[in-house]
Amino acid sequence: MIETDSETTHLDLTGLKCPLPALRTRKALRRISPGQVLVVTCTDPMAVIDIPHLVRDMGDILVGQERGPDNLIFTIRRSLTIPGTVAENTRSTPH
């Protein structure tokens, strides 16, 4: 379920198992505007690994990660640069 206010989109992925939380997070990130925030709530323990890797690979920012008693909550800010663009390609990477 997706709920949106002016700057934040909430994505409830409770009950979904790997790889669905990462795939749906990717789809939601592609739909929001640069600078907007996506808050993902899920219960899949593999999301602790999958979602941070996804965020890094997409060039977005993991603002926060919380572990509740029954869920995981990720707060992600959509990057202002789009991966694969000239601005993205000018970042230096260690070799």
Q: List the catalytic residues.
A: 18
Residues in the chain: 95
Single-letter amino acid, residue 49:
I
**φ, ψ at 6 (rounded to 5°):** -60, -40
Neighbours of 58 (CB within 10 A): 17
Identify which of 39, 49, 44 has the alpha carbon closest to the alpha carbon of residue 73.
39
Phi-psi map region of 35: left, alpha, beta (phi>0 left; psi -120 to 50 alpha): left
